[in-house]
Amino acid sequence: MSRENVVLFLSAVNTKPELRQCLAGKQEIRDWIEAANEAGFEFVSSEFCTVIQTITEVTVTAENAVTEYILARQKIGAKKSERVMKRTFIGGLPRACDPWSLMGTAKQK
């Protein structure tokens, strides 16, 4: 269980239509955690709240975490919020140091 799993799950939600469909209209954190666990991303509500609070810079509780995440995505965009989460909780190399680009096999975005 980790904050990194929260970030990876939210990244998967951005790229996998089946996850987005599963979560459509669900505002309860327990529904999101259940979907995450079924998809292989294990974490608890406090870890979800920590990630969302860090990217939104507002007080996040289990009651408002999903709403705050959705609002942040709408405000700054899904791609930017994903980059912020990955850099904050997973780390990452600047684009110039991307090992894929150094090998001449840059990933397609």
> Per residue in 26-39, pLDDT tens?
999 999 999 999 99
* C-alpha to C-alpha distance for 101 and 96, rounded to whole angstroms: 8
Burial grade of 9 (CB within 10 A; 0-12, 13-18, 19 or more): buried
Q: What pLDDT was estimated at residue 87?
A: 67
Higher-scoring residue by pLDDT: 46, 11: 46
> Per residue in 45-103, pLDDT tens?
999 999 999 888 889 999 999 999 888 888 766 566 566 666 666 665 444 444 444 44
Domain locations in the chain as residue ranges: 3-102
Q: What pLDDT was estimated at residue 78?
A: 54
